[in-house]
Amino acid sequence: MLVATLIPVMRRMGWTGARTSGSRGVSPVIGVVLLVSIVVVLAAVVASLAMGFEGELREPVPNSGFDRSYTPSGEGNTDDRPYVTITHQVGRSVDGDNIVIKDESGNTVIWADVWTGGPEVRAGEYVHIDGFDSDAALDPICEEGQTYWVILQDDEGNDLVVNEWTAPAAPALPPGSPSDSDGDGIPDWC
């Protein structure tokens, strides 16, 4: 019904219903305008998304790998104290003050403060952890299942656990050890 009403009005305005050679359609122009508009809107959406994630970008986590070796007999250590050696195998160098070793009780020691550690942690550097002397702040290894963590701290105080070690066995001191007066293989301080 609407079309029937519009056709007489359009004929009075000069529309004949047939295309003449002098009148060109506007649809190609409208198509180009729409296409350009869509491209501009898409570009604006992508740009706003990219700018929105800018605040979320952070420095990449340093790649590192730590190896642990446990000596439950304490062989080669003072008074046959059981110990773990944590060695930085691969990864970029890190300031020794930014690597923290933490035990289950929440006690911590900084890598650089352990007598075998140093001011810079490079591949091949290691710390010897037994809970005595330079790492006396940590609990000594007394039973299977005790856990220690190697934590990387950045300059803003954020922590990242880069390694976790759990004692796979209880200490087993050799017979006659000065640290085992009752001969059960467990250190006297445990």
Model confidence pLDDT, tens digit, residues 59-107: 555 556 888 999 999 999 999 999 999 998 888 888 889 999 999 999 9
- pLDDT tens for 97-152 read 999 999 999 999 999 999 888 888 888 899 999 999 989 999 999 999 999 999 98
The pLDDT of 161-165, averaged and rounded, is 89
Output the six-digit token pair for 127. Answer: 């710390």
Longest dimension (CA), the chain: 120
Element (H, E) at 4: helix 2-12
- What does the alpha-carbon distance between residue 67 and residue 156 come to, in Å, rounded to a whole number? 27
Instruction: Show me where the domains of the chain are located.
Output: 64-166
The pLDDT of 166-171, averaged and rounded, is 93
- What does the alpha-carbon distance between residue 11 and residue 84 come to, in Å, rounded to a whole number? 97
Query: What is the topology classification, in CATH, of domain 64-166?
Result: Immunoglobulin-like (2.60.40)
The pLDDT value given to residue 12: 64
Q: Which are the contacts of 48, defined by CB distance < 8 A and separation ≥ 6? A: none
